[in-house]
Homo-oligomer: A and B are copies of this chain.
Amino acid sequence: MPILRTSPASPFGRKVRIAAAVAGLSDRIRIEAADTNDANDALRQQNPLGKIPTLLLDDGEPLYDSRVIVEYLNEAAATPVLVPPGPGRLAVLRHQALADGLLDACILQVYEGRYRPPELRGEQWLAHQRGKMERALAHLATHHAVPGTGVPHIGEIAQACALGYLDLRFAGAWRTEHPALVAWLQDFAARVPAYALTAPTA
């Protein structure tokens, strides 16, 4: 059975876990914790970038990053619901890229605290990432706040995970600014039980 190396708070790991659930594959993947900061964790042999999530296939081959794992899940599913083929395919992938990029901008702000002492924090860098975060949120609120129907695609899943990460690390400040996205996330959570089941623990 494939093994997913991840951690409970990883937003990209959450994306893959929700994607697996939506694709009907949760029972066919085993979760195994990984510590990205532990040089002795086998993760750095499995993925030279030392990043999670990393999926270990039955033949020992690793798959990374999260988008490649999503392609695997999409192929392994009975129907390719995560990235539906057809004319809307690239729009779904762009939606995922935007949500992933929003996450990257959030994570770089969090890492500013994690990987350097307070006296080395850089306001210019933080403002640069905050700009990306704010523009991405505004774009999602304008273009992607209409509740979806049926099985969510990977763009919606990635968006939910980005908003969930904002709740975890940025005290939900986005909620005041973007009520349309709050309503969207509430609807997503009601439609997709895996969202609550994968709620991060800090």
Contact = CB atoms under 8 A, between A and B. Distances in A.
Contact of A122 (B64, B94, B116, B139): B116
B105 A115 contact: no
A102 interface: yes
Interface residues of A, number: 41
A141 to B, nearest CB: 11
Given A63-B94, A68-B97, A101-B49, A116 B124 contact: yes
A169 interface: no
Q: Main SS of chain A's interface residues?
A: helix
A172 B90 CA distance: 36
Interface of A: 44, 48-51, 61-65, 67-68, 71-72, 75, 89-91, 93-94, 97-98, 101-102, 105, 111, 115-117, 120-122, 124-125, 128, 131-132, 135-136, 138-139
